[in-house]
Every structure is written in C-alpha cells, then in structure tokens.
Chain A
C-alpha cells in the first residue's frame, strides 16, 4: 500500500487503472510516431541529397502512375489506359477515375481485364453480390467560381460490375448521357445546379445534385474579386501589400484581402520572403512556373490565393 500524492496528482493511482494505462500507451505511441516522422523529415530534408530524393520519387511514380491525386483527376481525359491494368487496379484509392472512365469507354473489355476492375467499382459490396442498384458519388470542385470560370464535376458509381450502368446528366453543358464514372470540366457564368442519375437493371442511384455558385464580381477592382488592370495591380508592390498576376488572374499574397491557405505568403514562404517581394505588383507567372512548375502541392496552395481576373 504505497499511495502518495504524487500518484494521485499524476493520475497513476489504482482506481480505473486500465484506462490510465491505455492513455499512457497512446501517448507513448503518438510520441514515437510523431517524433519519428519529424526526425525522418528533418534527416531526409537536410541530409539526403536532392538527386537521391528525386530518384526515389521517380521510382515511386513509376509504380503508381495513376494514383488519384487532384492532378490526375483533372487531366484524365488525356491519359490512356495503362498497359498493366491488373497492377493499377489493386490500388485502394477510392476515386480512381482515370482507370474507371477509360474502362467504361472501352466496350471491348476482355475477360482478362474485367475482374481487375471489380475492386475499384465495388469497394464496399461483397464479391459476387446479386443485382444491386448503383450508388453514386457526385462532386464538383471548386464549388464556387468567378464568372466565366470553370469547375470539374467528378462522379463515380459503385455497383456490381457485371451490370452495365448508364448515367444521365443535367444542367447547362453537362446535360446528356454519361459514362459510369468520369469527370468533366464545365464553365459557367451564373450559379448552376448540375444533376446526375445513374441506373442499372437493378435500379437507380437516385438523382444527385451539385450546385456551383458564381460569385458576382464587384465592378471595381479590389479585394473582393473584381476585375483589375495590370496598372491597378502594380500599385500593390510591397512586401506588406503584395498582389501578383498569375496567368489571367491576380492573387493577393499579403496585406488586406489575403485568403489563401498559407496565410501571409510573403512572410510564410518557405523559400524566404525575398524571393517573392521583387515580384509584388507584377506578373509572377514565369517566375512561379520556373520555380514550382512541377510541384502540384505548391501549385494547389498558390491557387488558393486567386482573387479575381485581370483585364
């Protein structure tokens, strides 16, 4: 019997001991994982040479060529079916739209490739399930665009792959017959609801609706998304108030109106603020493409800073 206040205050006294043990264990495991990964990042980032890292990533890419990143969804119409369909189909990525659409638009599917698509189209149904109506996931990204902007509508059905699925879309340029899964870019000038319903012999998924809103630009150039001229943007040319042109849009990187995912990007820029400050007020397209053109991650962050169009 050795109960001292330290046990009480540290919470290690006997009553309900099992729960306390598990908290201690969770803390230990979390510390191990988090500190382990942080150390790994620091070691890899600071010690391993750049070309070794690039070699590793090229090795990784060659083994998961069509893993579903945001980029592969956007570009899927230009991709072709990988030669080795079996190896890609074992991927557990939930939205493997590239492989999916290509398969569905190739009606001459051979028996050899057919079973390979089952794990993708039917992630939650047991193998060999009887006739089941398809379930449909229908999303748009982004869900809000500026007038004249475009959004990507993506959809995927899961059903017994042996039953052919047909889909019908509605709303603006999206109307018409669609494949069982896929994605389509639509451009719009006013808030539009897009609908999609998919069915097979067993029944229908029901109609799913995605509404893409169009932010009405204020007529004046400003932080709320109005069209700006290059001359207007050029006045925001300091580190504390930094606007840049990127392609046909302008971005606010610091000062009033910053709304990107990384906050004040001039201050938070990993490469240092002195890489950005000279670009403030000007066109950053070529500088950005040269530095980060191949990095989809950085590009996604950058896109979150877009405010409005340049006229």
Chain B
C-alpha cells in the first residue's frame, strides 16, 4: 500500500474504527466495575449484564447516529464522502435500535425466577410507567422520572424507526417524522442521566455517557432545530433555465452574496425559497455541480426522476435558493497526475462535466467514457467532444451510445477503448445498477477496489 492508498483506506474506514472504539468504551468499563465471572454465575446476573450493556452501547450508537446526521463537512474525511456518512448513519441507527429494544427486555427478565414464576409479576411491574407521586421524596420521584423518560424514549424510537425501516412514506412526511428521533433521544438522555445505576455510581461512566448525550443533543440542535442559525447557507439566484430535449433542465445560478467553495465533482444541497412556485418542493436536495470552480456562477443539470426533480421544471428565472456545501470526495484532484478513466452513465455525467471544465495542462491523462442509451442524451458536446480534446491531447473523449452498439457498456469494452486498465484510477457515476455491475466486472478483471471510485449522490 502506498501512502495515498493508506490515506484512502483511513478515509474509508477511520470513521468506522472510531465508532467501534467509542461504543466499546462503556462495555469495557462496565466489566471493570462489575465482575464478569459473577455475571455468568446466575441467569439473573447474566440478564442484568446484557440489560445494562445493551443500554449503554445503544445510547452511544444513538448519539453517534445523530452526529452522523448533522451533515458536517469534516465528517466526510472519516468515511470517504457524505454518501458513506449516511450509510454509517443508517447502520448505526439500526444497530442502536436492536440493542435498545433488548435493553428493557433483559432487565425485565432478570426478575423472573423460574422456580417461582409469579416473579413474572415483578417483571411486568418493572416495565410499567411509574406514577409520579408528589408526596414522595425528590430522589424517589426522580427514579420515576428516569424510568418514565426511558419508556417514552423506547416507544418513540421504536415507532419512528419502524416508519424508517418498514413503511414507505413520501419523502416530506418521512423527513418530518424522522426529526422526532432527536426528541426521543432527549428522553433517552434524561433516562441515562437520572437513572440510579452504574452510570450514577461510576464517575467515568457517568461523564462518558453525559458526553455522548451532549454530543447527540448538540448534533440534533445544530442540524434539525437551529439549522437556520448554525448551518452556513449561501443564497443564489436562478439566472437561466433551459429545458433540454432529453428531459433534463439546465439551471444557471448566480451568487447573491459570497459564492461557495467547491472542488470539481462535488455536490451541494439546494433548497428553493420561493414558495410561490407551483410544484417545487422546499426540502433541501443534493445535486452535483456541473460547472467549474473557476466560474462565478454554478450550473446544474437536473433530470426529471422523482416528484422533486419533476417539480423543478417549474423553476423560473429569479427564483432564490439556499445552497449548502459543498460535499463529496468524488474528485479527480485527489489523485494527482495518475492516469484516470471517467465512466459516466446518463445524467451521471454531471460531476465529470465539472471535472472536465477544470481540466488543465497540469492534469494527468484522462479518458472520459460517456455512456447513454440514445444519442440525444449526450450533454455538453461542445466542451467535452470538441474543445477539450483539441486543446489537451491527454484528454480523450469516448461516447458510447448503447442503442447503436451491441448492448450496454461493460468493463471489457472500457478496457478495449482505453487501452487497458492497469494502474488507472477509475471513477464511475451513473445509475446505481450500472455502477454496481461495472464495479464487480472491473474487480473480475483484476482492478483493486481501492482504484474504483463511485458516487451515489450525483443521481438526482
């Protein structure tokens, strides 16, 4: 592994390594203050151990999950791009849910004595909400608060994550419900801070868990509650709209104040503010930038795919949008002058258009393979087919029209067109099935996974 490979590996897996370390800490600490041997001594202590440990790790993962959803740019460096941050968000959320649903179950099971099964009544009682009796001392009432907060968090989390994992809601409604997971986390945090348990007895565990509760809450407030205050967004105005014949809208936007800073191939989140526009949805959506960072205006090519992108056809000149970003690690500038192959599929060409426009005499050799179904879908032919190849002999353009060829683009065909794949960095952006299929074909031809870079975000 050379230095760049090593850096890339760390960028891809560093975040995951940290996640496992952070969630292992309460696990290790718990066994330091509680004897593992005694946990195996009886079913009671065994369930007690699982109940406590699942709760602690689950909460840390829940907090990490919210941190990952904060969509901060520095986080990309730990995962290799925002799309991978969201994958980590999704996976940590799923694991946290699994651990946290078992947390009350194990703690309830510890009360059951198989020899006196009426003890199941103790278990059931343990699971029920506590009444908050005002005549009780503060400490007793606090335990009631802690347990009731835990119960609220439990049901909030289960309902909201069932909506995420198993119910297909329209994006807007889903996003609305998903935000309440931060509220469920607030209750979970209250539960762990107030509960009289290992976290109240052991100072290290107490402050460690408190730290994660604070991190989770800060992330929630940063992204969801107070994003208008904390998240930097740049206002842009639409100065050009043209509908191309292939169902693609080209938007040109000009900065109203400062322009955003981005690398060729990155994407931004755009939110249109002009609510008078028919059919334009107001949530922020990710789009690849097709223009070069050297230009003052930014240009987007948007293909009508979902409700949102179809609505964008109604955008008029003068519409105002807030732009947040830029995000993404899909940029050729990270690889110096190494020979590269850019494989574009359909509208997935947009990051390559940005990269091509910033191509200069210092860049390494590039073969752009642009695959479409019909010839009419080819975008920006003037720049990438005429201007660039003429000016820079090291930039080669190879359109591939599937209708005029024998079927779809394959790794073999790419290899033939580009004169081999050895030692080349391969960038792919296109429809997900195409990216998946090409990646596995390239692997079969012996291209290492670390040399294949793909961008899942660029497709809207």
Kindly provide the distance from the CB of B120 to the nearest chain A CB, expressed in whole angstroms: 5
* Interface membership of B28, Cβ < 8 A: no
Instruction: Name which of A54-62, A166-174, A188-196, A201-209 contacts chain B.
Output: A54-62
* Interface membership of A112, Cβ < 8 A: no
Given A31-B101, A264-B196, A268-B143, verify A1-B305 contact (CB < 8 Å): yes
A52 to B172, CA, bound (A): 50
A300 to B46, CA, bound (A): 12
Instruction: Name which of A39-47, A80-88, A122-130 contacts chain B.
Output: A39-47
Given A45-B121, A142-B38, verify A6-B105 contact (CB < 8 Å): no
A45 and B120: CB pair below 8 A?
Answer: yes
Given A9-B86, A45-B123, A294-B115, verify A139-B171 contact (CB < 8 Å): no
Residue of A nearest to B435 (CB): A15
Convert A61-75 into 0s and 1s, putting 1 for each residue whose CB lies closer than 8 angstroms to a CB of B. 100000001100000
A70 and B111: CB pair below 8 A?
Answer: no
Q: Which A residues are in CB contact (< 8 Å) with B197? A: 263
Residue of B nearest to A266 (CB): B140
A2 and B101: CB pair below 8 A?
Answer: no
Residue of A nearest to B98 (CB): A30
* Interface membership of A150, Cβ < 8 A: no
Grouping DSSP codes into helix (H, G, I), strand (E, B) and loop, the A interface class, with mixed when no group exceeds half, is helix
* Interface membership of A35, Cβ < 8 A: yes
Convert B164-196 into 0s and 1s, putting 1 for each residue whose CB lies closer than 8 angstroms to a CB of A. 111000010011000000000000000000011
Kindly provide the distance from the CB of B316 to the nearest chain A CB, expressed in whole angstroms: 23
Given A3-B459, A15-B435, A270-B125, verify A30-B102 contact (CB < 8 Å): yes
* Interface membership of B43, Cβ < 8 A: yes
Residue of A nearest to B458 (CB): A3
Given A2-B305, A259-B201, verify A270-B158 contact (CB < 8 Å): no
Kindly provide the distance from the CB of A220 to the nearest chain B CB, expressed in whole angstroms: 22
A44 and B120: CB pair below 8 A?
Answer: yes
In this complex, the interface size class of chain B, counting residues with CB under 8 Å from chain A, is 35 or more
Given A41-B124, A268-B143, verify A11-B105 contact (CB < 8 Å): no
Given A11-B87, A14-B436, A239-B140, verify A298-B196 contact (CB < 8 Å): no
B139 contacts which of A5, A27, A261, A267 (Cβ < 8 Å)?
A267
B305 and A3: CB pair below 8 A?
Answer: yes
Interface positions of A from 1 to 47, Cβ below 8 Å from B: 1-6, 8-11, 13-17, 20, 23-24, 26-28, 30-31, 34-35, 37-38, 41-42, 44-46
B161 and A27: CB pair below 8 A?
Answer: yes
Q: Which A residues are in CB contact (< 8 Å) with B42? A: 69-70, 296-297, 300
Interface positions of B from 184 to 243, Cβ below 8 Å from A: 195-197, 200-201
Given A15-B432, A45-B125, A270-B126, verify A239-B137 contact (CB < 8 Å): yes
B435 and A41: CB pair below 8 A?
Answer: no
B201 and A258: CB pair below 8 A?
Answer: yes
Interface positions of A from 130 to 178, Cβ below 8 Å from B: 139, 141-143
A46 and B124: CB pair below 8 A?
Answer: yes
Kindly provide the distance from the CB of A278 to the nearest chain B CB, expressed in whole angstroms: 15
B459 and A297: CB pair below 8 A?
Answer: no
B111 and A297: CB pair below 8 A?
Answer: yes
Q: Which B residues are in CB contact (< 8 Å) with A259? A: 201
Q: Which B residues are in CB contact (< 8 Å) with A6? A: 171, 174-175, 306
A296 and B117: CB pair below 8 A?
Answer: no
Kindly provide the distance from the CB of B137 to the nearest chain A CB, expressed in whole angstroms: 6
A160 to B433, CA, bound (A): 57
B201 and A5: CB pair below 8 A?
Answer: no
Q: Which A residues are in CB contact (< 8 Å) with B158? A: 31, 35
Kindly provide the distance from the CB of A298 to the nearest chain B CB, expressed in whole angstroms: 7
* Interface membership of A50, Cβ < 8 A: yes
Kindly provide the distance from the CB of B352 to the nearest chain A CB, expressed in whole angstroms: 18
Interface positions of B from 271 to 317, Cβ below 8 Å from A: 283, 285-286, 305-309
Residue of A nearest to B69 (CB): A9
Residue of A nearest to B164 (CB): A10
Interface positions of B from 65 to 102, Cβ below 8 Å from A: 83, 86-87, 89-91, 94-95, 97-98, 101-102
Kindly provide the distance from the CB of B49 to the nearest chain A CB, expressed in whole angstroms: 10
Given A53-B118, A273-B136, A300-B44, verify A45-B124 contact (CB < 8 Å): yes
Kindly provide the distance from the CB of A224 to the nearest chain B CB, expressed in whole angstroms: 15
A240 and B137: CB pair below 8 A?
Answer: yes
Interface positions of B from 26 to 47, Cβ below 8 Å from A: 34-35, 37-38, 41-45
Residue of A nearest to B166 (CB): A28
B124 and A4: CB pair below 8 A?
Answer: no
* Interface membership of B112, Cβ < 8 A: yes
A38 to B103, CA, bound (A): 11
Given A44-B120, A239-B137, A296-B113, verify A3-B431 contact (CB < 8 Å): yes
* Interface membership of A301, Cβ < 8 A: yes
A300 to B98, CA, bound (A): 28
* Interface membership of B330, Cβ < 8 A: no
A13 and B456: CB pair below 8 A?
Answer: yes
B201 and A44: CB pair below 8 A?
Answer: no
Interface positions of A from 264 to 289, Cβ below 8 Å from B: 264, 266-268, 270-271, 273
B306 and A24: CB pair below 8 A?
Answer: no
Kindly provide the distance from the CB of B281 to the nearest chain A CB, expressed in whole angstroms: 10
Kindly provide the distance from the CB of B381 to the nearest chain A CB, expressed in whole angstroms: 22
A14 to B307, CA, bound (A): 19
CB-CB nearest 7 A-B residue pairs: A45-B124, A11-B90, A14-B432, A57-B117, A4-B306, A263-B196, A34-B101
* Apart from the given pairs A24-B165, A42-B127, 18 other A-B contacts in the complex at a CB distance below 8 Å: A3-B431, A4-B307, A5-B460, A8-B83, A8-B286, A10-B90, A23-B94, A26-B98, A38-B108, A42-B124, A50-B121, A57-B117, A261-B45, A267-B142, A297-B42, A297-B111, A297-B113, A298-B111
26 contacts between A and B (CB under 8 A): A3-B456, A3-B459, A4-B306, A6-B171, A11-B90, A13-B456, A24-B166, A27-B94, A27-B161, A30-B102, A35-B101, A41-B109, A44-B124, A45-B123, A54-B117, A57-B113, A57-B117, A141-B37, A143-B35, A258-B201, A259-B201, A264-B139, A264-B143, A296-B113, A297-B113, A298-B122
What residues make up the interface of A, taking CB atoms closer than 8 Å to B? 1-6, 8-11, 13-17, 20, 23-24, 26-28, 30-31, 34-35, 37-38, 41-42, 44-46, 48, 50, 53-54, 56-57, 60-61, 69-70, 139, 141-143, 239-240, 254, 258-259, 261, 263-264, 266-268, 270-271, 273, 294-298, 300-301
